[in-house]
Structure 1
Amino acid sequence: MKPLEQKFEQRLDRDWPAITAALRRLIAVPSVEGPAAPRAPFGVNPRQALTTGLEIAQEAGLTTGLAGDAVGWGEYRSPAAATDDYVGIVGHLDVVAAGSGWHTPPFELTITPTQFLGRGVLDNKGPWLSALWALRWLAEDGAPLKRPVRVLAGSNEESGSQDIPKYLAEQPAPIWGYTPDGKYPVVYGERGILRGAITWPIDTAVLGPQFAISGEFSPAIVPDRAALTFPDGHQEHFHGKKAPSNAPELGDNVLDHLTAAGTQLPGGAGDLFQWYQAHFAGAFAGEHANIRFTDPVSGALQLTPYRIALSGDHLTLAFSIRYPLNTTEDEIVSNLRGLLPAGAALTVTSRMAPVKHDPHSPFIQALAKVYTDITGTDGSPVTTTGATYARSMPNIVAFGPSFPGQKGIAHKEDEWLNISDFRRMLVINYLSIQALANL
Structure 2
Amino acid sequence: MYKSLIDQHFDEQLSALGTLIAFPSVSQGAPEEGMPLGRHIHDALTYTLDLAREMGFSARSLDGYCGVIDYGEGEEMLMIMAHLDVVPAGTGWSCDPFTLTQKDGRLIGRGVMDDKGPAISSLFALRAIKEAGIPLRRRVRIFLGCDEERGWSCIARYKKTEPNPTLAFTPDGQYPVINSEKNIGHTTYHKKLSGSEVRISCGTAPNVIPGEAVAYLPFAPEPVTATHGMLLSGKDGELRAMGRAGHASTPEDAQNALLALLDALKEQPLNAEDLATASSLAALLAFDQHGEAFGLDISDASGRLTLSPNMLEWNETGVSITLDCRFPFSVSPEQLLAAEDEKFAQIGFARTHEHISKGHYIAPDCELVNTLLDIYTGATGKKAKPISIGGGTYARSFENAVAFGVEPEGETAQAHMPDESCPVESVRFDTHLIAEAIKRLAGK
Q: Note closer, same or farther for the CA distance 1:144–1:342 as it changes in structure 2 (3 Å cut).
A: closer
User: Corresponding residue for 1:211?
Assistant: 198
Please point out which of 298, 306, 310 is paired with 1:306.
310
Whether 2:368 is the aligned partner of 1:396: answer no
SS in structure 2 opposite 1:346? strand
SS in structure 1 opposite 2:190? strand
SS in structure 1 opposite 2:144? strand
Q: TM-score, normalization: structure 1?
A: 0.90
Rounded Cα–Cα distance in structure 2 between residues aligned with 1:432 and 1:31 = 28
| TM-aligned CA deviation for residue 371 of structure 1 | 1.2
Superposed CA deviations along residues 127-172 of structure 1, whole A, max 9, x for unmatched, are 1111111111111111111111112212111221101222222221
Q: Note closer, same or farther for the CA distance 1:229–1:373 as it changes in structure 2 (3 Å cut).
A: same
| TM-aligned CA deviation for residue 359 of structure 1 | 1.9
What is the 5 A alignment of 1:104-253?
Answer: 104-204=95-195, 207=196, 210-232=197-219, 234-253=237-256
Rounded Cα–Cα distance in structure 2 between residues aligned with 1:108 and 1:342 = 45
What is the 5 A alignment of 1:234-313?
Answer: 234-263=237-266, 265-295=270-300, 297-313=301-317
| TM-aligned CA deviation for residue 403 of structure 1 | 1.1
Whether 2:27 is the aligned partner of 1:27: answer no
SS in structure 2 opposite 1:308? strand
Rounded Cα–Cα distance in structure 2 between residues aligned with 1:342 and 1:106 = 39
SS in structure 1 opposite 2:87? coil
SS in structure 2 opposite 1:360? coil
Please point out which of 63, 67, 70 is paired with 1:72.
67
What is the 5 A alignment of 1:379-390?
Answer: 379-390=384-395
Rounded Cα–Cα distance in structure 2 between residues aligned with 1:186 and 1:253 = 29
User: Corresponding residue for 1:50?
Assistant: 45
Asked if structure 2 preserves the Cα contact closer than 8 Å seen for 1:280 and 1:289, the reply is no
SS in structure 1 opposite 2:34? coil
Whether 2:423 is the aligned partner of 1:418: answer yes
Q: Note closer, same or farther for the CA distance 1:268–1:353 as it changes in structure 2 (3 Å cut).
A: farther
Superposed CA deviations along residues 38-70 of structure 1, whole A, max 9, x for unmatched, are 322211211111111112212222232332332
Asked if structure 1 preserves the Cα contact closer than 8 Å seen for 2:203 and 2:209, the reply is no
Please point out which of 80, 83, 88 is paired with 2:79.
88
SS in structure 1 opposite 2:262? helix
Cα root mean square deviation, aligned? 2.1
Rounded Cα–Cα distance in structure 1 between residues aligned with 2:90 and 2:347 = 37
Asked if structure 2 preserves the Cα contact closer than 8 Å seen for 1:202 and 1:267, the reply is no
Rounded Cα–Cα distance in structure 2 between residues aligned with 1:244 and 1:390 = 18
| TM-aligned CA deviation for residue 342 of structure 1 | 6.5
Rounded Cα–Cα distance in structure 2 between residues aligned with 1:75 and 1:197 = 40
Whether 2:358 is the aligned partner of 1:353: answer yes
Asked if structure 1 preserves the Cα contact closer than 8 Å seen for 2:303 and 2:390, the reply is no
SS in structure 1 opposite 2:14? helix
Q: Note closer, same or farther for the CA distance 1:129–1:232 as it changes in structure 2 (3 Å cut).
A: closer
Rounded Cα–Cα distance in structure 2 between residues aligned with 1:231 and 1:64 = 55
Structure 1 unaligned regions, length at least 5: 1-6
Superposed CA deviations along residues 317-341 of structure 1, whole A, max 9, x for unmatched, are 2211111122112112222233232
Asked if structure 2 preserves the Cα contact closer than 8 Å seen for 1:200 and 1:268, the reply is no
| TM-aligned CA deviation for residue 269 of structure 1 | 2.7
Superposed CA deviations along residues 362-391 of structure 1, whole A, max 9, x for unmatched, are 112211111111111133111111111123
Asked if structure 2 preserves the Cα contact closer than 8 Å seen for 1:203 and 1:267, the reply is no
Equivalent pairs: percent with the same residue? Answer: 30
Rounded Cα–Cα distance in structure 2 between residues aligned with 1:18 and 1:284 = 43
| TM-aligned CA deviation for residue 124 of structure 1 | 0.8
Asked if structure 2 preserves the Cα contact closer than 8 Å seen for 1:68 and 1:167, the reply is no
Rounded Cα–Cα distance in structure 1 between residues aligned with 2:190 and 2:36 = 32
Asked if structure 1 preserves the Cα contact closer than 8 Å seen for 2:202 and 2:258, the reply is no
Amino acid at match of 2:386: P
Rounded Cα–Cα distance in structure 1 between residues aligned with 2:193 and 2:63 = 45
Amino acid at match of 1:403: P
Equivalent pairs, count: 424
Q: Note closer, same or farther for the CA distance 1:434–1:272 as it changes in structure 2 (3 Å cut).
A: same
